[in-house]
Amino acid sequence: MDELKFLSNYRSFFITSHLSPDGDAIGSEIALYFFLKAKGKQAVIVNDEPVPAGYRFLEGSEIIQPLADFKRRPRFRDSFEAAVFLECSSKYRAGQSGKIAEDVPILNIDHHIDNSLYGNVNLVSPGVSACGEIVHDVIIQSGGKITPEIASALYTAILTDTSAFRFNTNAQTLRITADLIDSGAEPNKIVEGVYEQVLFATLLLLGKVLSTIKQTPDGYVVYCKINRQMYQETGTSECDSESFIDYLRVVENNRVTFLLKELPDGKTRVNLRSKNAYDVQKVAAEFGGGGHRNAAGCTINTGLEESERLILAEIKKIL
């Protein structure tokens, strides 16, 4: 198998993932890192941004270097022979960290349906719940051992990408998850680490955001907006609102939910979720974004109000 050959052939690896890293990005990176180290390889994990607070409880999260730190190393460009991009549908998703690894052979491991197959080796499985599932399979197929640290990292990846096993979950997802528990992942500890360390200020922000909730007259579309003032008033930032979309998904009879976030440059970030066959990836793609059928995102070059109008018009086409 090409990906196994890739990981055996080179001695030193640059591991990275997408901007605004989530649990799948961080968990997959850490698991791959420990696996490569156990094989006697050199590896670094470099992301543009620091590890979000919710994943710092994971063993191995301290290894992840912000790009600025990595660049301070002497001859940092010569410190790796190959790169592994995790969870990046295009190499641009990895931001500046991805640029550093452009000239070395790339292994692209992902589960996004719109992956552009930019790697020298591409391991893309759109059907699986999380990139962490693919990393799990790679480790098993290489005869590697799932240590407790790897198990915890992969459990976190799958837990978060399925919103705690609420969607994208099938029997194989749960079989892998069961294996991870057998290998030392502690579900209670991980749930507490990921979901139950919410800052008080984040709930203050949630209160403001939920007060903007709207639905279309047919009830099919439910959405909220976040403006810059809400962050300022509560002392929070974008990353604190990551899970807010999940609160909208529970509204009865909804087909599509979205969250509009005003960015510092006045553009609007849109997080989209949908039920069943309603394909929000198509909606996101209209604005140059991407993702999966039931979870996607894009950035629109206008303010909140105009973006609301534009996105509602596109959603109408898929209902």
Provide the binding-site residues for Mn ion, judged by CB under 5 A. Answer: 24, 131, 161
| Polymer length of the chain | 319
Q: Which is nearer to Mn ion, 177 or 234 (CB)?
A: 177
H or E element at residue 209: helix 200-210
Q: Give the position of tokens 């939910």.
A: 257
Q: Which is nearer to Mn ion, 24 or 29 (CB)?
A: 24
What are the φ and ψ backbone dihedral angles of 44, each rounded to 5 degrees? -130, 150
Helices and strands (H, E) in the chain, number of each type: 13, 12
**Residue 67: CB minimum distance to Mn ion, A:** 21
Q: Which is nearer to Mn ion, 161 or 262 (CB)?
A: 161
**Residue 298: CB minimum distance to Mn ion, A:** 17
Cα–Cα nearest to 8, from 180, 149, 143, 118 = 143
Cα–Cα nearest to 58, from 177, 197, 167 = 197
The pairing of strands 12-16 and 82-86 is parallel
Q: Which is nearer to Mn ion, 131 or 296 (CB)?
A: 131
Q: Which is nearer to Mn ion, 128 or 222 (CB)?
A: 128
Q: Report the residue number whose CB is nearest to Mn ion.
A: 24
Cα–Cα nearest to 61, from 87, 31, 83 = 31
> 21: helix, coil or strand?
coil
**Residue 111: CB minimum distance to Mn ion, A:** 6
